[in-house]
């Protein structure tokens, strides 16, 4: 008997903003089933493109977002996850600098696209809630062996941004001095001769940037980063 399975890809894209926290990019479905529900962006793979290309294309079409950090998350294939027919979906995990995308150009299958704080998710279509949970799990565990900030923060950022990101993801406070010592000892941060602009009160901090080169070397040879 002929196989009746369709192959899709989904993109769970995380962003970060120092006051709004960690958020995930969702679209509102334009068509049935579950029209009007929020869902993870994604769609069917075409015959000639790679899986990564399919993810990038769907993301582009549905939200206008282009991503540079993308990794495979997990493949979801339970027989009844879509009511219409058997759909197996390869989920990808992406990180972007939220600041680059405040508004979206939704199109094709999507009515609208929007960031949602990961603690305030709307009702989601299909098994998308489970998928996001797996993705959040991955994000949380990733901070232990990969200094994620590089993909989530602006090119230049005050040190406190990084600290807040970690505090948020860990869900507990961390010691500022110890954290800074540890991060700086990795040698992937460069301090700049520039101060952050003020956005309220308080002493402005120096700006930092990641040194992409040493960062990549470090990631390649494996890194442990316990807190």
Partner DNA sequence: GCAAAAGTGTTGGGCCTACACCCATGC
Partner DNA sequence: GCATGGGTGTAGGCCCAACACTTTTGC
Interface residue with its own copies, options 90, 125, 136, 188 (CB under 8 A) = 90
- Binding partner of residue 75 among its own copies, DNA, none, CB under 5 to 8 Å per kind? its own copies
Of 103 and 198, the one with the shorter C-beta distance to DNA is: 198
- Binding partner of residue 97 among its own copies, DNA, none, CB under 5 to 8 Å per kind? none
**Which of these, 95, 108, 115, 93, lies nearest to 43 by C-alpha position?**
108
Of 81 and 182, the one with the shorter C-beta distance to DNA is: 182
The C-alpha atoms of residue 63 and residue 102 are separated, in whole angstroms, by 11
The C-alpha atoms of residue 100 and residue 114 are separated, in whole angstroms, by 13
Kindly identify the residues of this chain, within the stretch 59-78, that bind its own copies according to CB under 8 A: 72, 74-75, 77-78
Sign of CA dihedral 176, 178, 184, 189: negative
**Considering only 2-10, 164-172, 186-194, 210-218, which stretch makes contact with its own copies by CB under 8 A?**
2-10
User: Cα–Cα distances in Å, from 165 out to 24, 33, 147?
Assistant: 15, 36, 11
Kindly identify the residues of this chain, within the stretch 156-215, that bind its own copies according to CB under 8 A: none
The C-alpha atoms of residue 147 and residue 118 are separated, in whole angstroms, by 20
Interface residue with DNA, options 35, 66, 181, 212 (CB under 7 A) = 181
User: Cα–Cα distances in Å, from 88 out to 50, 153, 160?
Assistant: 15, 33, 41
Beta bridge mates, 87 = 6
Interface residue with its own copies, options 19, 47, 68, 199 (CB under 8 A) = 47
Of 51 and 121, the one with the shorter C-beta distance to its own copies is: 51
Kindly identify the residues of this chain, within the stretch 146-165, that bind DNA according to CB under 7 A: 158-160
Interface residue with DNA, options 57, 81, 180, 209 (CB under 7 A) = 180
The C-alpha atoms of residue 177 and residue 138 are separated, in whole angstroms, by 27
Which spans of this chain sit near DNA (rule: CB under 7 A)?
158-160, 175-178, 180-182, 195, 198, 200-206, 226-227
């Amino acid at each position: 008997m002929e196989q009746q399975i369709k192959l899709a890809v989904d993109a769970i894209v995380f962003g970060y903003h120092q006051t709004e926290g960690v958020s995930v990019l969702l679209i509102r479905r334009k068509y049935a089933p579950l029209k009007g529900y929020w869902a993870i962006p994604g769609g069917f793979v075409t015959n000639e493109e790679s899986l990564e290309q399919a993810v990038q294309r769907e993301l582009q079409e549905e939200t206008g977002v282009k991503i540079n950090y993308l990794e495979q998350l997990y493949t979801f294939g339970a027989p009844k996850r879509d009511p219409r027919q058997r759909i197996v979906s390869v989920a990808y995990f992406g990180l972007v600098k939220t600041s680059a995308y405040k508004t979206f150009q939704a199109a094709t299958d999507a009515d609208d696209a929007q960031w949602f704080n990961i603690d305030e998710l709307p009702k989601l279509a299909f098994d998308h809630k489970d998928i996001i949970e797996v993705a959040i799990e991955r994000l949380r565990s990733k901070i232990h062996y990969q200094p994620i900030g590089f993909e989530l923060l602006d090119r230049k950022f005050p040190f406190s941004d990084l600290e807040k990101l970690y505090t948020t993801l860990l869900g507990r406070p961390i010691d500022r001095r110890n954290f800074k010592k540890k991060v700086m000892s990795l040698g992937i941060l460069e301090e700049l001769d520039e101060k952050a602009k003020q956005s309220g009160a308080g002493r402005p901090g120096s700006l930092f940037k990641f040194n992409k080169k040493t960062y990549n070397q470090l990631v390649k040879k494996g890194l442990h980063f316990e807190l």
